[in-house]
């Protein structure tokens, strides 16, 4: 087993189309060493179709029938992150954490506690909703049916607004980036700079883990 502090875990948290996946790819391309992406897309690719959107279940309590499984999906994902890190593999995970289910599930705190033995940089990926709506109009292979578009009567669909409102609660991060003003590579470089400086103490995950 590798020293837990010789590896790094980066969790990117933001709404769909905020640019998380592009940042994750830039980190994989530019950072030294192996960086394994264990984000929402890779996890949902392994999830049976009847249980989708799985950990991507959006805010609003729309699928109470799936909610009892979501904490277990997240727990399994974060245990996998811990195993990868314990073997010396850096991990980047692009996710959309929220607690706006039909009832609070406390998933983020549980996930933070599962990584208590590892250095974790928790990054808030911000993006104005106007930019997100513009990006939703751009076709993306494999996601053609995932994104709601604007109409003249409804410029911002309610589910999109719910993501924007819920995903950054409680908003405790080690750093934040705004993808409306920074490219994915610039975001990755800002993250690299923060890693060089060190994760603030106590880290965001240490603070979140203490919230019960």
Q: Per-residue confidence of the chain (212 residues) as pLDDT tens digits?
A: 455 568 999 999 999 999 999 999 999 999 999 999 999 999 999 999 999 999 999 999 999 999 999 999 999 999 999 999 999 999 999 999 999 999 999 999 999 999 999 999 999 999 999 999 998 877 545 444 444 554 555 468 999 999 999 999 999 999 999 999 999 999 999 999 999 999 999 999 999 999 76
d(CA 207, CA 117): 14
**β 90-95/35-37 pair status:** parallel
Cβ neighbors of 29 (< 8 A, separation 6 or more) are none
Q: How far is CA 46 from the centre of its chain?
A: 17
Handedness of CA 53, 58, 62, 66 (dihedral sign): positive
Cβ proximity of 95 and 38 under 8 Å = no
Confidence at residue 58, expressed as pLDDT on a 0 to 100 scale: 96
Annotated binding-site positions for ATP = 14-21
Contact by Cβ (8 Å): 7, 90: yes
Catalytic site includes residue 41:
yes
Q: Detail the residues annotated as belonging to a binding site.
A: 14-21
Q: How far apart are CA 194 and CA 112, in angstroms?
A: 20
- Joined tokens for residue 88: 């010396």
Query: Global pTM?
Result: 0.91
> Which candidate in 41, 110, 165, 178 is catalytic?
41
Provide the domain count of the chain: 1
User: Which CATH number is 58's domain given?
Assistant: 3.40.50.300
CA torsion through residues 75, 80, 86, 92, sign = negative
Residue numbers of the domain that contains 48: 4-209
pLDDT on residue 5: 60
């Amino acid at each position: 087993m590798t020293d837990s502090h010789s590896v790094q875990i980066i969790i990117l948290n933001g709404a769909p189309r905020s640019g998380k996946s592009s940042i994750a790819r830039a980190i994989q391309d530019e950072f030294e060493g192996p960086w394994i992406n264990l984000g929402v897309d890779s996890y949902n690719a392994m999830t049976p179709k009847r249980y989708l959107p799985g950990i991507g279940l959006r805010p609003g309590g729309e699928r109470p029938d799936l909610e009892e499984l979501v904490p277990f999906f997240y727990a399994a994902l974060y245990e996998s992150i811990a195993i990868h890190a314990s073997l010396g593999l850096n991990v980047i995970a692009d996710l959309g954490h929220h607690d706006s289910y039909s009832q609070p599930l406390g998933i983020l705190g549980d996930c933070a506690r599962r990584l208590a033995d590892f250095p974790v940089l928790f990054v808030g990926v911000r993006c104005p909703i106007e930019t997100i709506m513009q990006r939703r109009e751009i076709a993306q292979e494999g996601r053609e049916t995932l994104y709601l578009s604007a109409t003249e009567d409804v410029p911002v669909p309610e589910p999109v607004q719910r993501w924007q409102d819920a995903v950054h609660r409680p908003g405790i991060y080690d750093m934040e980036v705004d993808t409306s003003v920074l490219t994915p590579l610039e975001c990755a470089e800002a993250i690299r700079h923060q890693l060089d400086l060190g994760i603030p103490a106590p880290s965001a995950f240490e603070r979140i883990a203490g919230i019960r």
